[in-house]
Amino acid sequence: MSSKDVEIELKRWRNPDEEVKASAAQQLSIEEALAYRNAGNLPDAQGRSLRLVLHVNDAAELSYLQEKRLEFEPDFHDAPSWRKEGSKPVNVVPLRRDDVVGDGGRAWWEDPDVAALETEWMATGSVAGMRVPADVRSFVYKTVLSLRAAGREVNPDSVADSIARWMSPKEAEQIRASLKQT
């Protein structure tokens, strides 16, 4: 699915009564999607790359969205072996019905766990013993909390490996190098 495909399909999904022409998106089986990802998730001639569309139909599904995502991305915290030059990250597109209400859309820094990391960063410039550049701290906070929740070790390599799932290899390596600076 290209970015334009996502926009078209979201419009079709949100307004089923409108006549909107289908996009060029192709639905793949799990096996086909994994094969495409493992081949590098390189965009095709139409700019399409792999996207994971997750339907959220009620509050219970919303509360288990992360677990559902991990069913399809079990190696979420490990450096992706399939990434190569020109590859795209696997974007996750959650489709939530209008009547499914989340946490009220609070800002990331209002979450108590994130606020504690922000307080630590404000005082020391570091989080979990790592110097964190200001412009990437929200990504690092989310990753630190996710790694901790999974019982994984938190260090510059584990954070950068996890972030490498959805950033370019170059960006992930820049973050790794920044986190290793003392």
Question: What are the structure tokens assigned to 86, written together?
Answer: 């020109």
Q: Residues 45-63: what's their mean pLDDT?
A: 87
CA 136/CA 164 separation, integer angstroms: 13
Buried b (16+ CB within 10 A) or exposed e, 43-75: eeeeebbbbbbeebeeeebbeeeeebbeeeeee
What are the tens digits of pLDDT across the range 163-173?
Answer: 888 787 788 89
Beta bridge partners of 131: 126
Task: List, for residues 93-152, the tens digit of each pLDDT value.
Answer: 888 877 777 666 667 678 899 999 999 999 999 999 999 999 989 889 989 998 998 899
pTM listed for this prediction: 0.69
Greater pLDDT, 93 or 160: 160
pLDDT for residue 35: 92
Whether the pLDDT of residue 42 is over 90: the answer is yes
Query: Mean pLDDT for the chain?
Result: 86
Strand-pair category, 91-96 with 126-127: unpaired
